[in-house]
Amino acid sequence: MLSAERNQYLCGTDAGTPMGGLLRRFWAPILLSSELPAPDCPPVRVPLMGETLVAFRDTDGRLGLIDEFCAHRGVSLWFGRNEECGIRCPYHGWKYDVTGQCVDLPSEDDSTGTRSRIKLKSYPCIEKAGVIWAYLGPPGQRPPEPALEWTEVSPDQLFVSKRLQECNYLQALEGGIDSSHVSWLHGNAFKEDPLFTGSRGNQYNEEDRMPIFEIEPFDGGLLIGARRNGAEGHYYWRITPWIMPWYTIIPPRAGHPLGGHAWVPIDDHHCWAWSINYHPNRDLTEAEREAMQGGKGIHVTYVPGTFIPAANARNDYLIDREAQASGRLANGVEGIAMQDASLQESMGPIQDRTKENLCLTDAGIVATRRELMRAAQANLDGKPVKGLAAGDQHVRSAAVELPHDTNFVEGARHGLFAELGTEPLTV
């Protein structure tokens, strides 16, 4: 368990907190490109790490992420008109460009110099892999653009979605690196979901519900290996990379696409759960894409017009007690994503980790917490932070059967650190 102080250290993400300072050193996925589809389209609110921001695409296609509130009287610029390379406040007409600079102040004569002195907080943005990313850290420490494998494939090989998750980023992240729960919570889903069926690993998950964990570091984070009994003389390994600070890559099943997540704080009580499917050497099939759009696999369906899952806390996640009693659904909730989210949200907005009782299968969680705290302290001390270099993100998950005497990283290295365009290492 953690002390209350360490729990707050890990979970606090506002500006000025140790973890908030660390997370701001990385490019954060903030919007799907489709949310800002064209120049001069309506702006979008972007709550992010305790800050209240608004994003827009200007007339020339440039991206802006600025303080949501006008410097004059505090009106929300979400109500503003996006026009002629700036967003104009509807109250008195003050207008701001993508850098936050006031470029028009209709109520004042230019000779006063007021306009040039007015500048809202702003953050740089880039666009890659159908996602808009922002950097909230010190300008002089801006890292290279994201280089995760899924950001490098063609659009036809990639599907990205996001959803609101109503809990702290850390308990969502910890679910993403916990391979032990899959045998219990998702077992039947793997037999039914079209994005997971047909894998020998499904059988191994069902037959061996006591995985042994081994953890090894790499330049970008941790490789979390969960070992189960496989074919005679072999172990079945599911190797989940945790990539600093909020990425997890899900080990594949059979020939299905790889999956991944990014768990990005909105504030200390909410996060964006980004869900990614991609295949490194082929296009996604029409059937796969339709399944993803229909909320299968790690994706969800939504309350119309929002990114709130259709199954959510307000409707008890549409729990089906009969399906739970029959054994078809472990917690009565349909869909792998919402099976996870419902239980993670049930812990409360921030889990009280002073009351937890960890065991051997929590080794990956313990190691990840330690790495996050070390990295946050290194950032405070002005020391290098792992995971910032583009090469640090070059890793892929793997599922593999290895002889009993083989180290899981060495045995799977050709799959974990594979070149783009090669087949995944999968069972």
**Whether 128 contacts 146, CB under 8 Å:** yes
- Which residues, 6 or more positions from 162, have their beta carbon under 8 angstroms from its beta carbon? 29, 32, 272, 273, 274, 275, 307
Choosing from 100, 134, 168, the residue where a domain stops is: 134
Give ∠ CA 377-170-212 in degrees, rounded to 5.
95
**CA distance linking residue 201 with residue 228, whole number of Å:** 9
Residue 423: per-residue pLDDT: 96
Residue 108: per-residue pLDDT: 83
- Same domain membership, residue 266 and residue 315: yes
- Same domain membership, residue 350 and residue 403: yes
Tokens of 23: 């997370």
- Same domain membership, residue 168 and residue 71: no
Residue 112: per-residue pLDDT: 81
230 by DSSP, 3-state: which? coil
Residue 190: per-residue pLDDT: 85
- Same domain membership, residue 409 and residue 330: yes
Which pTM value belongs to this model? Answer: 0.96
- Same domain membership, residue 189 and residue 130: no
Residue 111: per-residue pLDDT: 77
Residue 236 lies in a domain: yes
Could you give the C-alpha distances from 316 to 168, 299, 331, 416, 422, in angstroms and in order? 19, 18, 11, 38, 42
Residue 426 lies in a domain: no
Question: Looking only at Cα atoms, what is the longest distance across the chain?
Answer: 83
Residue 183: per-residue pLDDT: 84
Amino acid at 32: L
- Same domain membership, residue 197 and residue 92: no
Cβ neighbours, 10 Å, residue 79: 15
- Same domain membership, residue 209 and residue 125: no
CA atoms within 13 A on the CB side of 196: 23
CATH of residue 111: 2.102.10.10
- Same domain membership, residue 115 and residue 234: no
Q: How many separate domains does the chain show? A: 2
**Whether 46 contacts 55, CB under 8 Å:** yes
- Same domain membership, residue 192 and residue 113: no
**CA distance linking residue 129 with residue 149, whole number of Å:** 10
Could you give the C-alpha distances from 79 to 52, 225, 239, in angstroms and in order? 14, 49, 46
Tell me the residue range of the domain where 57 lies. Answer: 31-134
Choosing from 134, 164, 192, the residue where a domain stops is: 134
Residue 199: per-residue pLDDT: 93
Residue 1 lies in a domain: no
pLDDT beneath 50, residues of the chain? none
Q: Which helix (H) or strand (E) element contains residue 278? A: strand 270-278
Length of the chain: 427
State the DSSP code for 86. Answer: E
Amino acid at 180: S
265 by DSSP, 3-state: which? strand
pLDDT digits (tens, 9 = 90+) for 222-244: 999 999 999 999 999 999 999 99
- Same domain membership, residue 86 and residue 155: no
- Same domain membership, residue 400 and residue 289: yes
- Same domain membership, residue 153 and residue 45: no
**CA distance linking residue 295 with residue 310, whole number of Å:** 10
